[in-house]
Amino acid sequence: MIGVYDFNGHYEWTFAWLQRRGGLKLLREYWDEAIHRDAQRHAANLIRRKGIKGMQAYWGHSLKQEGGSHHTTATETVFRLDMHDCPSKGFLIRNQLQQYADYCDHCMGWIGPMLRQAGFVIDHQHNHAGQCWWEMRRASDTSPPSSPGELSGNHDVRLGSNWKRKNHDLDSYSRANGPNQKKSQA
Protein backbone atom coordinates (compact mmCIF):
# COMPACT_ATOMS: atom_id res chain seq x y z
CA MET A 1 0.00 0.00 0.00
CA ILE A 2 1.09 3.55 -0.56
CA GLY A 3 0.10 5.79 2.27
CA VAL A 4 -0.28 9.34 3.47
CA TYR A 5 2.51 9.50 6.07
CA ASP A 6 4.99 10.04 3.19
CA PHE A 7 2.46 11.33 0.67
CA ASN A 8 4.59 14.28 -0.41
CA GLY A 9 7.40 11.91 -1.34
CA HIS A 10 5.47 9.75 -3.82
CA TYR A 11 3.40 12.74 -4.96
CA GLU A 12 6.63 14.53 -5.95
CA TRP A 13 7.99 11.32 -7.52
CA THR A 14 4.78 11.18 -9.59
CA PHE A 15 5.44 14.68 -11.00
CA ALA A 16 8.67 13.45 -12.57
CA TRP A 17 7.02 10.23 -13.79
CA LEU A 18 4.30 12.20 -15.56
CA GLN A 19 6.72 14.74 -16.99
CA ARG A 20 8.82 11.97 -18.51
CA ARG A 21 5.74 10.60 -20.24
CA GLY A 22 3.92 13.71 -21.34
CA GLY A 23 6.05 16.74 -20.57
CA LEU A 24 4.96 19.79 -18.62
CA LYS A 25 1.65 19.79 -20.48
CA LEU A 26 0.63 16.46 -18.97
CA LEU A 27 1.90 17.43 -15.54
CA ARG A 28 -0.13 20.65 -15.55
CA GLU A 29 -3.18 18.74 -16.71
CA TYR A 30 -2.63 16.38 -13.75
CA TRP A 31 -2.53 19.25 -11.26
CA ASP A 32 -5.67 20.75 -12.75
CA GLU A 33 -7.71 17.63 -13.43
CA ALA A 34 -6.63 15.18 -10.74
CA ILE A 35 -5.82 17.57 -7.90
CA HIS A 36 -8.01 20.64 -8.44
CA ARG A 37 -11.08 19.02 -10.00
CA ASP A 38 -10.96 15.64 -8.28
CA ALA A 39 -8.94 15.38 -5.05
CA GLN A 40 -9.52 18.98 -3.94
CA ARG A 41 -13.03 19.42 -5.28
CA HIS A 42 -14.21 20.14 -1.73
CA ALA A 43 -11.93 23.18 -1.70
CA ALA A 44 -13.16 24.32 -5.10
CA ASN A 45 -16.80 24.03 -4.06
CA LEU A 46 -16.21 25.86 -0.79
CA ILE A 47 -14.30 28.76 -2.34
CA ARG A 48 -16.63 29.09 -5.31
CA ARG A 49 -19.60 29.41 -2.92
CA LYS A 50 -18.04 31.44 -0.11
CA GLY A 51 -15.09 33.29 -1.61
CA ILE A 52 -12.63 34.54 1.01
CA LYS A 53 -14.57 32.93 3.86
CA GLY A 54 -14.28 29.66 1.98
CA MET A 55 -10.51 30.14 1.71
CA GLN A 56 -10.32 30.67 5.46
CA ALA A 57 -12.31 27.51 6.07
CA TYR A 58 -10.38 25.37 3.59
CA TRP A 59 -6.85 26.36 4.54
CA GLY A 60 -7.78 26.44 8.21
CA HIS A 61 -8.69 22.75 7.98
CA SER A 62 -6.05 21.49 5.58
CA LEU A 63 -3.03 23.21 7.12
CA LYS A 64 -4.06 22.15 10.61
CA GLN A 65 -4.15 18.55 9.35
CA GLU A 66 -0.86 18.79 7.48
CA GLY A 67 1.16 20.56 10.18
CA GLY A 68 3.93 23.06 9.57
CA SER A 69 3.81 26.70 10.60
CA HIS A 70 1.77 29.38 8.88
CA HIS A 71 -0.36 32.49 9.39
CA THR A 72 -3.45 33.63 7.54
CA THR A 73 -4.91 37.12 7.22
CA ALA A 74 -8.31 37.85 5.73
CA THR A 75 -10.08 41.11 4.99
CA GLU A 76 -13.20 41.76 2.91
CA THR A 77 -11.06 41.99 -0.22
CA VAL A 78 -7.98 39.79 0.21
CA PHE A 79 -6.91 36.47 1.68
CA ARG A 80 -3.23 36.26 2.59
CA LEU A 81 -1.28 33.17 3.58
CA ASP A 82 2.22 33.39 5.03
CA MET A 83 3.85 29.98 5.06
CA HIS A 84 6.82 29.91 7.42
CA ASP A 85 7.49 26.17 7.41
CA CYS A 86 5.72 24.31 4.62
CA PRO A 87 4.90 20.78 5.81
CA SER A 88 5.12 19.37 2.26
CA LYS A 89 8.33 21.01 1.10
CA GLY A 90 9.77 20.51 4.57
CA PHE A 91 9.18 16.77 4.32
CA LEU A 92 11.04 16.66 1.00
CA ILE A 93 13.94 18.75 2.28
CA ARG A 94 14.32 16.74 5.49
CA ASN A 95 14.27 13.46 3.55
CA GLN A 96 16.43 14.77 0.68
CA LEU A 97 13.81 13.86 -1.92
CA GLN A 98 13.82 15.60 -5.28
CA GLN A 99 12.77 14.06 -8.58
CA TYR A 100 11.04 17.09 -10.10
CA ALA A 101 12.66 20.51 -10.67
CA ASP A 102 10.36 22.69 -8.54
CA TYR A 103 7.91 20.92 -6.24
CA CYS A 104 6.47 24.28 -5.17
CA ASP A 105 4.90 24.74 -8.62
CA HIS A 106 2.25 22.16 -7.82
CA CYS A 107 0.42 24.62 -5.54
CA MET A 108 -0.04 27.14 -8.34
CA GLY A 109 -0.77 24.17 -10.57
CA TRP A 110 -4.03 23.37 -8.78
CA ILE A 111 -4.83 26.50 -6.75
CA GLY A 112 -4.38 28.79 -9.75
CA PRO A 113 -7.06 27.17 -11.95
CA MET A 114 -9.31 26.69 -8.92
CA LEU A 115 -9.24 30.40 -8.11
CA ARG A 116 -9.71 31.35 -11.75
CA GLN A 117 -12.99 29.46 -11.71
CA ALA A 118 -13.96 31.23 -8.49
CA GLY A 119 -13.08 34.65 -9.99
CA PHE A 120 -9.84 35.38 -8.12
CA VAL A 121 -6.21 36.06 -9.08
CA ILE A 122 -3.06 35.35 -7.09
CA ASP A 123 0.10 37.20 -6.16
CA HIS A 124 2.64 34.72 -4.84
CA GLN A 125 6.32 34.11 -4.12
CA HIS A 126 8.15 31.01 -2.92
CA ASN A 127 11.79 30.61 -1.95
CA HIS A 128 12.21 26.84 -2.50
CA ALA A 129 13.09 26.44 1.17
CA GLY A 130 9.62 25.86 2.61
CA GLN A 131 8.54 29.49 2.77
CA CYS A 132 6.06 31.36 0.62
CA TRP A 133 3.28 33.94 0.65
CA TRP A 134 0.00 34.21 -1.21
CA GLU A 135 -2.48 37.04 -1.72
CA MET A 136 -5.78 36.22 -3.38
CA ARG A 137 -8.06 38.97 -4.66
CA ARG A 138 -11.08 39.23 -6.92
CA ALA A 139 -9.97 39.42 -10.55
CA SER A 140 -11.76 42.76 -10.81
CA ASP A 141 -9.62 44.19 -7.97
CA THR A 142 -6.49 45.72 -9.52
CA SER A 143 -4.75 46.42 -6.19
CA PRO A 144 -1.06 45.54 -6.16
CA PRO A 145 0.28 43.04 -3.61
CA SER A 146 0.88 44.43 -0.13
CA SER A 147 4.29 45.68 0.92
CA PRO A 148 6.10 43.57 3.56
CA GLY A 149 4.29 43.79 6.90
CA GLU A 150 1.38 45.80 5.54
CA LEU A 151 -1.25 43.06 5.76
CA SER A 152 0.06 40.45 8.16
CA GLY A 153 2.38 42.54 10.34
CA ASN A 154 5.17 40.62 11.98
CA HIS A 155 3.78 37.38 10.55
CA ASP A 156 4.79 38.45 7.04
CA VAL A 157 7.23 35.79 5.88
CA ARG A 158 9.11 38.38 3.80
CA LEU A 159 10.33 40.03 7.01
CA GLY A 160 12.09 36.89 8.22
CA SER A 161 15.85 36.56 8.04
CA ASN A 162 15.46 33.26 6.17
CA TRP A 163 13.28 34.63 3.39
CA LYS A 164 16.03 35.38 0.88
CA ARG A 165 18.63 32.68 1.17
CA LYS A 166 21.73 32.16 -0.87
CA ASN A 167 21.08 29.64 -3.63
CA HIS A 168 17.34 29.91 -3.13
CA ASP A 169 16.11 32.25 -5.83
CA LEU A 170 12.61 33.55 -5.40
CA ASP A 171 9.96 32.52 -7.87
CA SER A 172 7.23 35.14 -8.32
CA TYR A 173 3.72 35.21 -9.72
CA SER A 174 1.68 38.35 -10.37
CA ARG A 175 -2.12 38.22 -10.81
CA ALA A 176 -1.65 34.61 -11.84
CA ASN A 177 -3.87 31.60 -12.30
CA GLY A 178 -1.40 28.97 -13.44
CA PRO A 179 2.17 27.67 -13.17
CA ASN A 180 3.02 28.92 -16.68
CA GLN A 181 2.92 32.51 -15.32
CA LYS A 182 6.02 32.11 -13.14
CA LYS A 183 8.75 34.74 -13.13
CA SER A 184 12.04 33.92 -11.43
CA GLN A 185 14.25 36.54 -9.86
CA ALA A 186 17.66 36.36 -8.24
Pattern 23-62, binding to another protein, x per CB under 8 A?
A: ---x---x--xxx--xxx-x-------------------x
Residue partners of 92: CB distance under 8 A and separation at least 6:
8, 9, 12, 98, 103
Under a CB-based contact definition with an 8 Å cutoff, are residues 139 and 119 in contact? yes
Q: Which is nearer to another protein, 1 or 186 (CB)?
A: 1
Q: Name the nearest CA neighbour of 135 among 185, 85, 71, 44.
A: 71
CA 16 to chain centre: 19
Pattern 87-106, binding to another protein, x per CB under 8 A?
A: x--xx--xx-x---------
Q: Which amino acid is at 127?
A: N
Using the rule CB under 8 A, is 163 a contact of another protein? no
Q: How far is the CB of 41 from another protein (least distance, A)?
A: 8
Distance CA 57, CA 47 (A): 9
Binding to another protein, residues 67-86 (CB under 8 A):
67
- Member of 51, 66, 72, 172 binding another protein (CB under 8 A): 66
Q: Which amino acid is at 157?
A: V
Kind of pairing between the strands at 132-138 and 183-185: unpaired
**Which residues are at the interface with another protein (CB under 8 A)?**
1-7, 9-11, 13-14, 17, 21-22, 26, 30, 33-35, 38-40, 42, 62, 65-67, 87, 90-91, 94-95, 97
